[in-house]
C-alpha cells in the first residue's frame, strides 16, 4: 500500500506491506475503536519509542487509515516535540551534572530540553475537556510553533521518546493515557536513520554524525533502559523487514 504522508514538515510517498497493514495497523485501529466505544468518551493513546524507529510516520499512517474507513471515528496524531524549549532558551540555560555545566542546546532532544510543565497542563486540559491547542515542532526551522493544532478528535495518538520515561518530571505522565504503546528497536539499527534525518533537516554530514553520537545515541539508550511497561509492544523482526505486534485483546 502506498500512502502520501507529511511527517515533521516533510512530505513523502511511502509504501507499507499489505500484510503489515492488515495484521498490525488495522488490528491496532480496531483496538483503539473498541476502547473508545467501551469508554464512551475520547481516548488518548501514548506511543513511545527510541529516536528513528518511525513512530511519527506510523502515527501519521494510523491517522490516514482511520480517515479512509468510513465507519471509523476520527483520529489525530501529534508529537510531544512541540514542547521542546525554543532555541533561544536552550542557548541560555544549562544542565548541571556532577562534573560540569552542559548547555541545553548541546543535548537538544534529551528530557531536560522539554517544557514538561506545559506538557502536563496541555494533557490535563485535553483529558478534562476533550480539546486543546497543541504546539508543533517544525524540522525546517528547528523550533516549536505554539498553538499550531487544535486537538478535538475522539481518538488522539500522542507520540514521543519520553512518554513512558520513569524519571523525575516524567514518571506520572502515562496516567493520562488510555492505551500505551512502545516500539522496541536495536540501537545499532537506528544510527544511520538518525544521520540521514539530520542531513535532511539541514545538517552537514559531519554535523549530523557529531550530533547523533553526542545526543541521539545516548537518548536511545536512555529510552530503552528507563521506559516503563506498555500495553502494546511493536518490534522489528530479526531481518528488520517487518514489524511484529505483541498485545492481548
Percent of the chain with pLDDT over 90: 62
The CATH fold of domain 2-246 = Rossmann fold (3.40.50)
> Could you tell me the pTM of the whole model?
0.90
Residue 84 confidence (pLDDT): 97
Least confident stretch, 120-124, 187-191, 216-220: 187-191
Q: What is the pLDDT of residues 70-100, one digit of tens each?
A: 889 999 999 999 999 999 999 999 988 767 8
Q: What is the mean pLDDT of the chain?
A: 89
Residue 126 confidence (pLDDT): 96
Taking 80 as the threshold, does the pLDDT of residue 185 lie above it?
A: yes
Taking 90 as the threshold, does the pLDDT of residue 25 lie above it?
A: yes
| Confidence tier at 59 by pLDDT (50, 70, 90) | very high
Rounded distance, CA 107 to CA 188, Å?
Answer: 20
Q: What residue segments make up the domains of the chain, in order of their start?
A: 2-246
Taking 80 as the threshold, does the pLDDT of residue 3 lie above it?
A: no
Q: What is the pLDDT of residues 138-183, one digit of tens each?
A: 878 889 999 999 999 999 999 999 999 999 999 999 999 999 999 9
Residue 197 confidence (pLDDT): 78
Please report, to the nearest 10 degrees, the dihedral formed by the alpha carbons of residues 88, 94, 95, 98 taken in order: 170
CA proximity to 233, closest of 218, 241, 225, 243: 243
Residue 187 confidence (pLDDT): 83
Amino acid at each position: 500500500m502506498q500512502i502520501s504522508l507529511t511527517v515533521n514538515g516533510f512530505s513523502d510517498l511511502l509504501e507499507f506491506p499489505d500484510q503489515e497493514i492488515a495484521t498490525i495497523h488495522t488490528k491496532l485501529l480496531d483496538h483503539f475503536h473498541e476502547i473508545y466505544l467501551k469508554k464512551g468518551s475520547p481516548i488518548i493513546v501514548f506511543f513511545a519509542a527510541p529516536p528513528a524507529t518511525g513512530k511519527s510516520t506510523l502515527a501519521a499512517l494510523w491517522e490516514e487509515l482511520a480517515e479512509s474507513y468510513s465507519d471509523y471515528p476520527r483520529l489525530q496524531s501529534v508529537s510531544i516535540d512541540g514542547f521542546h524549549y525554543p532555541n533561544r532558551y536552550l542557548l541560555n540555560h544549562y544542565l548541571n551534572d556532577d562534573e560540569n555545566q552542559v548547555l541545553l542546546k548541546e543535548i537538544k532532544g534529551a528530557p531536560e530540553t522539554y517544557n514538561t510543565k506545559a506538557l502536563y497542563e496541555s494533557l490535563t486540559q485535553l483529558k478534562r475537556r476533550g480539546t486543546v491547542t497543541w504546539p508543533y515542532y517544525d524540522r525546517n526551522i528547528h523550533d516549536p510553533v505554539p498553538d499550531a493544532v487544535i486537538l478535538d478528535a475522539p481518538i488522539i495518538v500522542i507520540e514521543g521518546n519520553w512518554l513512558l520515561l520513569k524519571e523525575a518530571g516524567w514518571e506520572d505522565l502515562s496516567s493520562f493515557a488510555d492505551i500505551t504503546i512502545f516500539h522496541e528497536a536495536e540501537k545499532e539499527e537506528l544510527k544511520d536513520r538518525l544521520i540521514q534525518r539530520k542531513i535532511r533537516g539541514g545538517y552537514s554530514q559531519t554535523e549530523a554524525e557529531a550530533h547523533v553520537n553526542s545526543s541521539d545515541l545516548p537518548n536511545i539508550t536512555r529510552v530503552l533502559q528507563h521506559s516503563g511497561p506498555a500495553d502494546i509492544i511493536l518490534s522489528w523482526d530479526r531481518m528488520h523487514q517487518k514489524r511484529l505486534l505483541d498485545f492481548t485483546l
